[in-house]
Structure 1
Amino acid sequence: MVSSRELASLIWIGVAAIGLSVLLIRSREGRASLVGVLRALAHPKVLVSLLAFFAYISACVWVADVVGAWTSSMLKETLIWTIISSFAVIFASTKADKDPDYFRKAFVAVFGINVVVEFIFGLVSFAFWLEFVLQPVLALLILLELVARQNAETPVAKAVDWLLAGLGFAFLGGTLLEVWSQSGDMDWVLQLRTFAMLVWLPITTIPFIYSLAWVMTYERVILQLRFRLGDERVPTWMKAAVAVGFNRNLHDLGRIRGRGPYEVARSSSFREALDAVRDARRRKQEEDLENAEAAARLQRFAGVGGVDEDGRRLDRREFAETQRALRWVATCHVGWYRRDDSGRYREDLLTILGDISSHGLPEPHGVEMRVSESGQSWYAWRRTVSNWVFAIGASGPPPSEWLYDGPDPPTGFPGSDPAWGDEPFRTPVNWRG
């Protein structure tokens, strides 16, 4: 039997779907977007993945039924969970290779407080009119919270957080009161089985996510090999070498690119391809070790003054991120200078670039920039969290490049301020990796 909460949800989902469809079909761009979404959903690979997921869950439920962990009274909850989770599972499969701890985190998350809250809220429903009013209000507040999260310190963000917290506690309190009043009529054995299902059903999806993620990632690697081979068919022995060489390590498989596929594609036998795969894995593992050592070094020397035996600062926090951001600004300056008929550097380049925090900097990014009146010289600088300044600039048309680092920002343009040194294209010691 459909509860008042489920009925209200179905109505609002229908209203939202119809409203969104009407809005989209009113414009050519909207219709094109709608058709694109429908085509993506109807793609054979998506349909096969969905069918495989439904078949897999059906098999898991059958086993649970055999061992007494599932009954037909739980069919509605099972169907709702499966339908809601299906696209989330496919989406998870596309990103599972990015995090080496993804499956451990997914397993641990099953035993979090969320499963208890989900179970409690699912025990009872309120009157239909209350569910019908509350659901869009909660949805709106959640959307506002997602938007406000971009700047969590604003008054709006704090107000939305308080409203959500208040409604959440009120919702929880009302649910507990309803459970108390109806406790005598509840089948608690069934409820405990349902609670257990909220644990074992997500756990059973983990092997499926892994398998689907492996197939997707493996296919992506084979496409790279095909590209390297000039769109020729990838030999079976080469495919086998990739599968054997990565030995079920999804994270390593997802990171093979560039030199790795190139060397595998050049191989002429299974053994040679297998060696190329293992070499690619070894290089990535060495890179991971170097990154871990660099991170440990940053933490060990945080706040420590002085330099090492090569003259480099010991406290190198934000050095790499600042240098990447400044080099990006320089690259954009070169591009604009060459494409702009005025033949000058742009004073508003930082405004055009907008957010450059993607290079690892916090927001606000703290990059400052100056352009000469003639538009033929410029420089940008930033002070790191370790209180060291990096700057980059040009004293003329591209490819002029000057680099600077020191305790204070330069006061003049490259070529005129002695702080920049005597000549361009010189790499100061703290600019070296």
Structure 2
Amino acid sequence: MNERELASLIWLVAVVATAVLNPKVRPALLESTKQFLQALASRPIPLLLGAYIVWCAGWVAVAAALGLWNWSLALETALIFMSVCLPLITSATKSRSGPELLRHVARQTIAISALVAVYVNLFPLPLWAELLLLPIVVGLSFKAEQGRRGRAAAASARRAQLWLSLMGLGLLTWTALQFVALAEELDSANLLRQLLLSIWLPAIALPFLYPLAFFSTVETHLKRLVYSNPGMPHRAQLAFVLGLHGSLRLAAKFIADRSGVGAERTFAGAKRAMADFRSELDRRERLETERLDRLRDFAGETGTDGTGAQLDRRQFHETKGALRFVHTAQMTRFKGQGERFWDDLTDMVLSGPSLHGLPRDHGVSVETTADGKRWRAWRRMPSGWVLGIGEPTPSASTATPGRSRRPTGLSTTTLIGSTRCATWDRSIGTETTRRKPEWQRVDCAVPRRA
């Protein structure tokens, strides 16, 4: 155990001891631990973990026979197993396809960041420096991660990332200097084994992780099917499992309550339902590919189609989703803000899922009149056109918190001009009683058949 690993262990023991000795935290901690162990014992996790350990141990034995592993790497092997291989189980159950799972494993093994982590761990700092540096790195990493997920100020997150980068450069420099100073004393063969261990040990988990991810997803679907269709025969359940063809992609995209499989009572009927599901999924994916191709082909094209809608449809779907969400937020907050619309909550309202796929720097602008009784929101598209939505003073029915009905007789959505934001009357839509073709156009992924 080197100084970095020892420092991590010391901090871990200190944190756990502090929590256990704190009378305010101890009862909740013990209760949570008890519930976790009970949940662990009630599920096939111990059996799964045992099989995973046996699988990895078998490959370690093979590596030892090939000269790629020896007992000096035992501690390193245990640390890699606990810090990389075990977390892969959790991430595997969230993967939606085999290639996605493969990419995730590759990021944990042969990505530049993973190799750099192994490199800087070869020559740790003195113990006192590691003890001082570890909590600082953890705090900065937490701040940077919050910024990446949109939960912290961008400037603060950038500063945290900058400090982490500087520390990383410092560790790389320290490691390089140690290499030069201790070049004659290094066991190059063992260093190579250590580097390869960090790659092949997580990589050999892939054949174990794929069936784990598949059957974990299948188990979830079966529970939903049986819950929604009590008495679903085992033969129909078997047809469902076989109908997925062992594909994690099919399993991840299966929707139990829309498939019709649960209503079947025979093997043949469930088999036909699964064939229909695969055919419909292939149709949707083919049409979605064609839609994406059209977006790519018409990117930068000027002009409109036969309906009057713009040819360049980039980000129209995402922008309409975000603007509709702004409309909902305006309606739900109107009463609570003294019957005034807001223009200062845009970044708070549009964050996470409510961005509908737009970047964090979304470019949506929200404006209100001086009395706060009228509002509009708009965004300039990659093509240069501006898509906008607005609202006149709502009636009592539309101002009810939690409702987002648009007032009748007025268009609440309109396409605003390509070079400037048009007048208030035009952007609110009082000059027309029909929706613009941009809002009539379906820009989303291929809808399901009725």
- TM-score after normalising by structure 2: 0.79
Distance in 2 (alpha carbons) for counterparts of 1:25 and 1:48 = 35
2:390–2:429 Cα contact (<8 Å) kept = no
2:233–2:265 Cα contact (<8 Å) kept = no
The aligned residue for residue 91 of structure 1 is: 90
Letter in 2 for 1:211: P
2:389–2:427 Cα contact (<8 Å) kept = no
CA deviation map 1:113-172 (0-9, x unaligned) = 234323322333332222222322332332333344468996544544443233222212
Pair 1:205 & 2:202 matched: no
The aligned residue for residue 244 of structure 1 is: 242
Q: More displaced, 107-116 or 79-88?
A: 107-116
Q: More displaced, 45-54 or 28-37?
A: 28-37
CA distance 1:350–1:411, change in 2 (3 Å): same
The aligned residue for residue 438 of structure 2 is: 430
The aligned residue for residue 112 of structure 1 is: 111
The aligned residue for residue 132 of structure 1 is: 131
1:267–1:273 Cα contact (<8 Å) kept = yes
CA distance 1:49–1:67, change in 2 (3 Å): same
Distance in 1 (alpha carbons) for counterparts of 2:179 and 2:372 = 76
CA deviation map 1:81-126 (0-9, x unaligned) = 11222541222122112x5631332354333323432332233333
Distance in 2 (alpha carbons) for counterparts of 1:350 and 1:252 = 44
CA deviation map 1:333-376 (0-9, x unaligned) = 56668xx699x96524973962354322334541425489696x
CA distance 1:91–1:265, change in 2 (3 Å): same
- Local SS of the residue matching 2:205: helix
Letter in 2 for 1:286: R
Which structure ranks higher in relative contact order (CA pairs < 8 Å, sequence separation ≥ 6)? 2
Pair 1:312 & 2:309 matched: yes
Task: Write the mapping of 1:123-202 to structure 2, written as runs, cut at 5 A.
Answer: 123-149=122-148, 156-202=156-202
Pair 1:326 & 2:339 matched: no
2:309–2:438 Cα contact (<8 Å) kept = yes
- Local SS of the residue matching 1:123: coil
The runs of 5 or more residues in structure 2 that have no matched partner are 399-404, 443-450
The aligned residue for residue 350 of structure 2 is: 355
Distance in 2 (alpha carbons) for counterparts of 1:72 and 1:253 = 41
1:111–1:199 Cα contact (<8 Å) kept = yes
CA deviation map 1:241-298 (0-9, x unaligned) = 222211121022111115543x111223222212211222222232223223222322
- Local SS of the residue matching 1:368: strand
2:379–2:388 Cα contact (<8 Å) kept = yes
CA distance 1:364–1:172, change in 2 (3 Å): closer
1:367–1:382 Cα contact (<8 Å) kept = yes
Deviation at 1:46, TM superposition (A): 4.1
Letter in 2 for 1:224: R
1:302–1:317 Cα contact (<8 Å) kept = yes
Distance in 1 (alpha carbons) for counterparts of 2:114 and 2:428 = 64
Distance in 2 (alpha carbons) for counterparts of 1:415 and 1:134 = 56
The aligned residue for residue 291 of structure 1 is: 288
Distance in 2 (alpha carbons) for counterparts of 1:219 and 1:33 = 26
1:383–1:389 Cα contact (<8 Å) kept = yes
- TM-score after normalising by structure 1: 0.82
The aligned residue for residue 221 of structure 1 is: 221
The aligned residue for residue 405 of structure 1 is: 415
1:96–1:213 Cα contact (<8 Å) kept = yes
- Local SS of the residue matching 1:265: coil
Q: More displaced, 395-404 or 84-93?
A: 395-404
Distance in 1 (alpha carbons) for counterparts of 2:23 and 2:88 = 27
1:145–1:157 Cα contact (<8 Å) kept = yes
Distance in 2 (alpha carbons) for counterparts of 1:37 and 1:372 = 55
CA distance 1:142–1:371, change in 2 (3 Å): same
Distance in 2 (alpha carbons) for counterparts of 1:73 and 1:269 = 58
- Local SS of the residue matching 1:95: coil
- Local SS of the residue matching 1:303: coil
Deviation at 1:58, TM superposition (A): 1.9
Pair 1:282 & 2:307 matched: no
CA distance 1:334–1:131, change in 2 (3 Å): closer
The aligned residue for residue 102 of structure 1 is: 100
Q: More displaced, 381-390 or 188-197?
A: 381-390
| Corresponding residue pairs, total | 419
CA deviation map 1:49-87 (0-9, x unaligned) = 433322322222233334443222221111111122254
The aligned residue for residue 253 of structure 1 is: 251
The aligned residue for residue 60 of structure 2 is: 61
Distance in 2 (alpha carbons) for counterparts of 1:226 and 1:63 = 43
Letter in 2 for 1:351: L
The runs of 5 or more residues in structure 1 that have no matched partner are none
